[in-house]
């Protein structure tokens, strides 16, 4: 199967040995997007609401680079620092994704890169 890198300047650059995304056939695999402002390379200021919005905006940019949209996302995995933030995250998530919502896993983790509060990865299907 052919695979190609998905890359955009509208989302943070990869900070390790990985790609922002990979397209394989009609599937797009987006690496975990953190709440980093792509213009500055810095974590956005504020709390979980601001970080959740930025992480999803970064995901949206990666999808757009693959000629996809958030409507094409079929599965997400959300990594969060504190499960007590789930309600806020869920409300913001629901404002970006439409029913039928993507399948989703949400996992509380001990620590994320750059000590962010959230990271989101996704799989999309494009025609």
Tokens (6 digits) for 69? 């949209």
Question: Coil, strand, or helix at residue 40?
Answer: coil
Statement: the pTM of the whole predicted model exceeds 0.75: yes
**Contact 108/64 with Cβ under 8 angstroms?**
no
Mean pLDDT, rounded, for 20-32: 97
- Residue 118, strand partner residues: 80
Provide the pLDDT confidence category of residue 49 given band limits of 50, 70 and 90. very high
> CA gyration radius for the chain?
14
What pLDDT, on the 0 to 100 scale, is given for residue 1? Answer: 72
Say how many domains are in the chain. Answer: 1
- Pick 119 or 2 by higher pLDDT: 119
- The pLDDT assigned to 29 comes to 98
CATH code of the domain in which 100 resides: 3.30.1330.40
**What pLDDT is attached to residue 15?**
82
Picking from 55, 57, 63, 46, the residue whose alpha carbon sits closest to that of residue 120 is 55
- Between CA 108 and CA 117 the distance in angstroms is 10
pLDDT bracket for residue 109 (50, 70, 90): very high
CA distance 68 to 124: 8
Residue tagged active-site, from 106, 112, 123, 126: 106
Is a pLDDT exceeding 90 seen at residue 119?
yes
Q: Tell me the H-state helices in the chain.
A: 48-65, 86-96
- Looking at residue 95, its pLDDT comes to 98
Does residue 103 have an active-site annotation? no
| Cis-peptide into 119, omega within 30 deg | no
Q: What is the mean pLDDT of the chain?
A: 97
The average pLDDT across 120-126 equals 98
Instruction: Domain of residue 81: give its range.
Output: 3-125
pLDDT band per the 50, 70, 90 thresholds, residue 26: very high
């Amino acid at each position: 199967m052919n695979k190609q890198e998905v890359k955009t300047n509208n989302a943070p650059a990869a900070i390790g040995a990985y790609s922002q995304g990979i397209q394989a056939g009609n599937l797009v695999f987006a690496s975990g997007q953190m709440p980093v402002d792509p213009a500055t390379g810095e974590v956005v200021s504020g709390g979980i609401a601001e970080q959740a919005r930025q992480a999803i905006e970064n995901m949206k940019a990666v999808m757009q680079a693959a000629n996809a949209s958030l409507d094409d996302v079929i599965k997400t995995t959300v990594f969060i620092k504190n499960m007590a933030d789930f309600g806020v995250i869920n409300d913001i998530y629901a404002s970006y994704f439409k029913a039928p919502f993507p399948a989703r896993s949400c996992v509380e983790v001990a620590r994320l890169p750059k000590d962010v509060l959230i990271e989101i990865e996704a799989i999309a299907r494009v025609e």
